[in-house]
């Protein structure tokens, strides 16, 4: 059953159209990674789905209901959990307090959440201000889970963290996905994204230019889409003639 | 046709002569080493693209070349002259023009006035000469018919064209472009790339930082990839973009 359906979505930053006619859909239990270069529109797409950025056109349906005009907090109440880039914890509160603030009834209780995130289990009573970047990120994800969302949106959880910390976070995310949470995540690191998501969509200049199952896309295909190398077909410069380019599929969710 | 007042370029020099040389540039911001011993030589008349993932140090490198920032170590030579001690205004007068990632035109002025200011302040021209230079810059960027529009009424592509025109009006021999194609639709990117191709064909030397790689590949004869403040690849564009080290720098290492 379709949990999230995005149809022909546009989003702008002033003069700049960051998201252009994006369509995608997520079934319950699906996991989709959005990859793409800086400025491709990944985070804006995520934020628009979350209600943190206005849609300029198109539709967002969640659980069959059109949610375009709902403010972010109403979307949270409907079951859309968001881990924004930058974490945004209550720094003066403890880990436990940060988690309890977000709690809504459901399977994810504080004990179960802490079990999935050993990185912060031992720091339950520490104030967020005393946590490392990786621990803060773990709290941010754990806090989103405490609301028992049916859809979890994750924006660049590994940004600025040491690889070993990212390994820990991804182990925890694997547990979250195994528990059946539907996940849409933005990730720069393709291998990590492929490691936990069933599907990958690559964005280029506001559009989804390649989408497929994680096991079926090659690194070469993603590279072509990521840099738009296939777009050089017919370009004016003989020096810049394309190599063996893989033609881009248009997004077909 | 050449940009007025610019120093000699590839058309009348030995092609291999370096217009710009950056030697061993180091730059730290606090504990973060943003650039680490970066050395680049740009032949006169060439078009060099600089790519790299977020945080690679690209814009810092451009700022060091333009004189907006000073390196901790290393020096910058323009046509053999050490310009390291000069700020952005001094280097601009010697022929380094640049565009900014976020164009900030004087919004209360017309397009023409904006370009005129650049010709006067950056190009050191007065009166009729400044006006002539401004008109030429507008012509080369396809902005002539919008000359009397207020800058704040322009769409994104025209703002980028205006940014390009302002850089050209300073009479550069070296044009530094900072992510000028970002945020445009594909047809708009093509239109902008055409202007840049024409400028290059007229002999301007171009160093272009860009995330929109396919736009860059239409102009650049050579690509340099920065990652973690170091040059990890330098060469023929298609080869660089398929270099496993470059792909790993963007997408993470292949697991």
> Which tens digits make up the pLDDT trace of A164-196?
999 999 999 999 999 999 999 999 888 888 889
What tokens were used for B4?
Answer: 């007025």
Closest-CA distance of chain A to residue B206, Å:
16
B208 beta partners: B49, B177
Q: H/E element holding B81? A: strand B81-82
Residue B14 has pLDDT above 90, yes or no: no
What pLDDT score was predicted for residue B255?
Answer: 57
CATH value at residue B199: 3.40.50.300
Rounded to a whole number, what is the largest CA-CA distance in chain A?
63
Which chain B residue is nearest to residue A234, measuring alpha carbons?
Answer: B218
Q: What is the mean pLDDT of residues B43-50?
A: 96
Same domain, B181 and B65: yes
Residue B228, chain A, CB below 8 Å: the answer is no
From chain B, the residues in CB contact with A228 under 8 A are 212-214
Q: What is the mean pLDDT of residues B229-251?
A: 94
Same domain, B63 and B188: yes
- Partner residue opposite B218 with nearest CB, options A39, A192, A240: A240
Report the domain count for chain B: 2
Same domain, B111 and B207: no
From chain B, the residues in CB contact with A20 under 8 A are 185
Q: Which of the four pLDDT bands, split at 50, 70 and 90, describes residue B13?
A: very low
Closest-CA distance of chain B to residue A163, Å:
11
Q: What is the mean pLDDT of residues A157-169?
A: 88
Same domain, B75 and B7: yes
What pLDDT score was predicted for residue B132?
Answer: 95
pLDDT digits (tens, 9 = 90+) for A190-223: 888 888 999 999 999 999 999 999 889 988 899 8
What pLDDT score was predicted for residue A250?
Answer: 41
Query: Residue A238: CB partners within 8 Å, gap ≥ 6?
Result: none
Task: Please give the Cα distance from B58 to B50 (Å, whole number).
Answer: 7
Residue A160 has pLDDT above 90, yes or no: no
Q: How many CB pairs under 8 A join A and B?
A: 95
What pLDDT score was predicted for residue B6?
Answer: 46
Domain closes at, from B148, B171, B194: B171
Report yes or no: B196 and B177 within 8 Å, Cβ to Cβ.
Answer: yes
Same domain, B75 and B183: yes
Closest-CA distance of chain A to residue B253, Å:
7
Same domain, B219 and B135: no
Q: What is the mean pLDDT of residues A108-117?
A: 94
Residue A16 has pLDDT above 90, yes or no: no
Q: Identify the residue among A156, A161, A237 best suited for mutation to test binding to B, counting B beta carbons within 10 A and taking the highest.
A: A237
Task: Please give the Cα distance from B22 to A130 (Å, whole number).
Answer: 42
Residue B252, chain A, CB below 8 Å: the answer is yes
Total length of chain A:
253
Task: Provide the 8-state DSSP code for B119.
Answer: I
Residue B1 has pLDDT above 60, yes or no: no
Residue A231 has pLDDT above 80, yes or no: no
Q: Which of the four pLDDT bands, split at 50, 70 and 90, describes residue A92?
A: very high
Interface of B with A in 13-52 (CB under 8 A): none
Residue B221, chain A, CB below 8 Å: the answer is yes
Residue A63 has pLDDT above 70, yes or no: yes
What pLDDT score was predicted for residue A243?
Answer: 35
Whether residue A18 and residue B211 make contact (CB cut-off 8 A), yes or no, is no
Report yes or no: A33 and A53 within 8 Å, Cβ to Cβ.
Answer: no
Residue ranges covered by each domain of chain A: 2-85+146-231
Could you give phi then psi for residue A216, rounded to 5 degrees?
-100, -20
**What count of other Cβ atoms lies within 10 Å of the Cβ of residue B14?**
8
What pLDDT score was predicted for residue B2?
Answer: 42
Same domain, B81 and B110: no
Q: What is the mean pLDDT of residues A144-164?
A: 91
Whether residue B53 and residue A39 make contact (CB cut-off 8 A), yes or no, is no
Domain closes at, from B121, B139, B171: B171
What pLDDT score was predicted for residue A232?
Answer: 62
Q: Mean pLDDT, chain B, as a whole number?
A: 90
Q: Which of the four pLDDT bands, split at 50, 70 and 90, describes residue A233?
A: low
- Partner residue opposite A229 with nearest CB, options B179, B182, B241: B241
Tell me if ipTM is over 0.95.
no
Residue A234 has pLDDT above 50, yes or no: no
Which CATH architecture does the domain made up of A2-85+146-231 adopt?
A: 3-Layer(aba) Sandwich (3.40)
Domain closes at, from B171, B202, B223: B171
Q: Identify the residue among B252, B253, B254 best suited for mutation to test binding to A, counting A beta carbons within 10 A and taking the highest.
A: B252
pLDDT digits (tens, 9 = 90+) for B182-232: 888 889 999 999 999 999 999 999 999 998 899 999 999 999 999 999 999
Least confident of A26-35, A57-66, A158-167: A158-167
More confident residue, B8 or B34: B34
Whether residue A222 and residue B53 make contact (CB cut-off 8 A), yes or no, is no
Q: Mean pLDDT, chain A, as a whole number?
A: 88
Whether residue B218 and residue A232 make contact (CB cut-off 8 A), yes or no, is yes
Query: Residue A151: CB partners within 8 Å, gap ≥ 6?
Result: A3, A4, A26, A62, A79, A80, A81, A181, A182, A183, A184
Q: Please give the residue range of the domain that contains residue B201.
A: 1-95+173-255
Residue B217, chain A, CB below 8 Å: the answer is yes
């Amino acid at each position: 059953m379709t949990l999230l359906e995005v149809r022909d979505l546009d989003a702008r930053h002033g003069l700049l159209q960051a998201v252009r006619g994006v369509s995608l859909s997520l079934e319950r239990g699906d996991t989709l990674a959005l990859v793409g270069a800086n400025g491709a529109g990944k985070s804006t797409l995520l934020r628009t789905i979350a209600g943190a950025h206005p849609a300029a056109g198109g539709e967002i349906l969640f659980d069959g209901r059109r949610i375009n005009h709902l403010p972010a907090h109403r979307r949270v109440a409907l079951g859309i959990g968001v881990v924004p880039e930058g974490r945004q914890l209550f720094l003066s509160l403890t880990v436990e307090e940060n988690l309890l603030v977000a709690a809504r009834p459901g399977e994810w209780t504080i004990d179960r959440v802490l079990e999935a995130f050993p990185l912060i289990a031992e720091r339950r009573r520490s104030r967020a201000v005393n946590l490392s970047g990786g621990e803060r990120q773990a709290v941010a994800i754990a806090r989103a889970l405490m609301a028992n969302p049916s859809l979890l949106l994750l924006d660049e959880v590994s940004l600025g963290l040491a690889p070993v910390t990212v390994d820990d976070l991804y182990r925890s995310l694997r547990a979250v996905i195994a528990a059946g949470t539907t996940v849409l995540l933005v990730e720069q690191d393709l291998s990590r994204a492929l490691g936990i998501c069933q599907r990958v969509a690559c964005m280029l200049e506001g559009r989804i230019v390649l989408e497929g199952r994680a096991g079926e896309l090659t690194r070469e295909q993603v590279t072509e889409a990521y840099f738009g190398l296939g777009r050089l077909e017919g370009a004016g410069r003989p020096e810049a003639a394309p190599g063996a380019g893989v033609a881009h599929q248009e997004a077909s969710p | 046709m050449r940009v007025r007042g610019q120093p000699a370029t590839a058309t009348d020099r030995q092609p291999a002569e370096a217009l710009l040389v950056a030697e061993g540039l180091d730059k730290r911001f606090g504990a973060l080493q943003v650039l680490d011993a970066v050395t680049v030589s740009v032949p006169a008349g060439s078009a060099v693209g600089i790519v790299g993932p977020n945080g690679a140090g690209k814009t810092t490198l451009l700022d060091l070349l333009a004189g907006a920032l000073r390196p901790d170590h290393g020096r910058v030579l323009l046509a053999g002259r050490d310009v390291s001690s000069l700020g952005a205004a001094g280097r601009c007068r010697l022929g380094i023009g640049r565009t900014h990632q976020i164009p900030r035109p004087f919004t209360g002025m017309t397009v023409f006035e904006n370009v005129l200011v650049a010709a006067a302040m950056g190009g050191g021209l007065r009166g009729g000469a400044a006006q002539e230079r401004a008109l030429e810059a507008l012509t080369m960027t396809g902005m002539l018919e919008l000359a009397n529009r207020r800058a704040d009424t322009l769409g994104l592509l025209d703002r980028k064209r205006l940014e390009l025109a302002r850089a050209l009006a300073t009479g550069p021999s070296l044009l530094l472009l900072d992510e000028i194609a970002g945020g445009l639709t594909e047809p708009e990117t093509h239109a902008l790339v055409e202007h840049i191709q024409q400028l290059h064909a007229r002999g301007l030397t171009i160093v272009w930082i860009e995330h929109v790689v396919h736009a860059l590949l239409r102009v650049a004869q050579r690509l340099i990839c920065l990652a973690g403040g170091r040059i990890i690849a330098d060469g023929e564009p298609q080869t660089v973009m398929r270099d496993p080290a470059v792909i790993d720098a963007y997408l993470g290492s292949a697991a």
